[in-house]
Amino acid sequence: MSAYDHDVDKEVYDITIVGGGPAGLFATFYSGIRNMKTKLIEALPHLGGQLSTLYPDKYVYDVPGYTKILARDLVKKLEEQAMQVNPTIRLNEKLIALRHLDEKLIELETTRGLHYSKTVLLTTGMGVISMKKLGIPSVERFEGRGVYYLITNKWMFRDKKVIIVGGGDSAVDWALELKDIASEVVLVHRRAGFRAHEAKVVELFSSRIRKLIPYVVRDAHGSEKLESVTLTNVETGEEVTLEADALIPQIGYEIDNSLYKSWGLDVDEHGIKVNGRMETNIPGIFAVGDAASPIGSPKLNLIAIGFAQAIIAVNCAKHYIDPNASIFPGHIVKLT
C-alpha cells in the first residue's frame, strides 16, 4: 500500500504546471485556451510567487498594458484570467520527485500525494527562497523586532526611520517605495557600483533618500526592539551610529538547485537548462520563468519574459502530446 493511497489523483492531465507565480498562472490560462486538461500545483498556501511573497505592495511598471500596477493587484488579475479556464489548483503541495512511467506518462510526487500528467511545466521560480542574512549576531537578535529580510506590508514602516542595505533591485526598489511612507530612508551600500536597474539608480540619486556609500552594517543596538545601527565606512574605517526603527537587509537570495538535479534535470548556475522550445533535457518536461536557463539567450528574471516563455512552452507541450496539433495556436477570438 502506497503512502499516498489517501491522496492519489489517478486522472491523467495533459499538463501539470508546478509553481503558481506569474509564469505558472499565465501558463495555466494559456493551457486552458489550448483545450489542455490543466492542473497547477503550488507549494505555498497562496498563488502569486515572488509578487505575493516578496513584494505585494511594490508597484510593477514593466508589464505591458499597465503604466503601473501593485504586485498584489497583478496577481489578482492573473488569477482571474487563469480561473476562466477552470483549472485544477492544488495549494500547499510541494513537488518533490518526477518520474517517467512510460513515454507519455509522468508521475509527480508531492508532499501530499501523487499526480499523473502527459507533460509537466516547471514554473518553480527561484524554488524555495531563502534570504541571505547579514550574519551579525547583534542584528539577527532583532529579526522580526526591527530587522526585516522580507516585507509583506510596507505600511508598517509609516513614519519610521528605515535603513535599507544593498545595491541590487530589491534594495533600491524598497528605498524608492518607502521614501514617501517612512519618515526617513537611508540606503547603505558597500561599494559605488549598483546592480539595480539603471533607471531606478538614477531615480535613487535624484531623490532625497540619504545614501551612505561605501558603508557596511557593523552592529545593532536596542533593548526590546531595534533602536540604532552602527555602520562602518569600508575605506576609512570611520563609524557612524544612526537611530533606526527598522533595518531592511536586501543583500540577495540563496537558491537551491539540488532538487532539480535529483530529478535528472540539467542545470547551470541560472537554473534548469532549456532549449528554444523551453524543453528540458527530459522529454515532456518544460521549464520557464525564473526557473529556466535558456541556452543561447540572456537570462532575464522578469515577469514579461516568463509570460512569453509560457506561451512557447504550452504550445510546444500541446504539439508534443499531439503531433497533429499545430504549435501556432492562431488568435483567440472569444473565450467560451
Ligand X SMILES: Cc1cc2nc3c(=O)[nH]c(=O)nc-3n(C[C@H](O)[C@H](O)[C@H](O)COP(=O)(O)OP(=O)(O)OC[C@H]3O[C@@H](n4cnc5c(N)ncnc54)[C@H](O)[C@@H]3O)c2cc1C
Q: Which is nearer to ligand X, 103 or 180 (CB)?
A: 180
Span of 139-147, 201-209, 235-243, 300-308 interacting with ligand X by CB under 6 A: 300-308
Question: Which has the closest alpha carbon to 124: 106, 110, 140, 143?
Answer: 110
- Of 5-13, 140-148, 285-293, 313-321, the segment contacting ligand X by CB under 6 A is 285-293
Member of 13, 20, 56, 74 binding ligand X (CB under 6 A): 20
The single residue among 15, 16, 17, 49 that binds ligand X, judged by CB under 6 A, is 49
Min CB(66)–ligand X separation in Å: 11
Going by C-alpha positions, the residue among 303, 253, 328, 309 that lies closest to residue 69 is 303
Residue nearest to ligand X (CB): 125
Nearer to ligand X by Cβ, of 90 and 190: the residue is 90
Beta carbon of residue 171, minimum distance to ligand X (angstroms, whole number)? 9
Question: How far apart are CB 52 and ligand X at their closest, in Å?
Answer: 7
Binders of ligand X among residues 152 to 181 (CB under 6 A) are: 169-170, 173
Q: Alpha-carbon distance 20 to 18, whole Å?
A: 7
Residue 313 interacts with ligand X (CB under 6 A)? no
Told to check if 131 binds ligand X by CB under 6 A, we report no
Task: Using the minimum distance from each CB to ligand X, give the nearer residue, 146 or 289.
Answer: 289
Closest alpha carbon to 280 in 149, 100, 86: 100
Binder of ligand X out of 32, 56, 127, 166 (CB under 6 A)? 127
Question: Which listed residue (21, 56, 167, 249) binds ligand X by CB under 6 A?
Answer: 21
What is the rounded CA–CA span in Å between residue 284 and residue 16?
Answer: 11
313 in Cβ contact with 277 (< 8 Å) = yes
Among 74, 82, 89, 126, binds ligand X (CB under 6 A): 126
**CA distance linking residue 304 with residue 60, whole number of Å:** 11
Count of residues of this chain found to bind ligand X when the rule CB under 6 A is applied: 38
d(CA 120, CA 96): 13
Minimum distance from CB of 129 to ligand X (Å)?
7
Give yes or no for residue 55 binding ligand X (CB under 6 A): yes
Residues engaged in binding ligand X (CB under 6 A): 18-24, 41-44, 49-51, 54-55, 58, 60, 62, 94-95, 123-128, 169-170, 173, 289-291, 301-304, 306
